[in-house]
Amino acid sequence: MKPKTKKSIIKRFKFTKNGKILRRAPGQNHYRSRKSGNFKRKKRKWVPVDKSEVKKIKKLK
């Protein structure tokens, strides 16, 4: 039987057609009022997942 997809993984990561996995940049959840606008704009973007983690995430997908 085929294993089920972990729904939490699908919600937290983006999977590109080329096989890359993207995640949200850290530092966005709280204490944002004291951070500069430049910092907050940079953190909005999706960043690639580290190579050491890719294999684990793909296994759960």
Q: 48: which strand partners?
A: 22
Q: Check residue 5 and give its pLDDT.
A: 86
Q: Which helix (H) or strand (E) holds 10?
A: helix 7-12
Provide the whole-model pTM: 0.78
The model's pLDDT over 29-45, given as tens digits with 9 standing for 90+, comes to: 999 999 999 999 999 99
CATH class of the 7-60 domain in this structure: few secondary structures
Which of 5, 1, 45, 25 has the alpha carbon at shortest distance from 58?
A: 5
> Which pLDDT band holds residue 26 (cuts at 50, 70, 90)?
very high
Domain limits, the chain: 7-60
Round to whole Å and give the CA distance between 5 and 19.
17
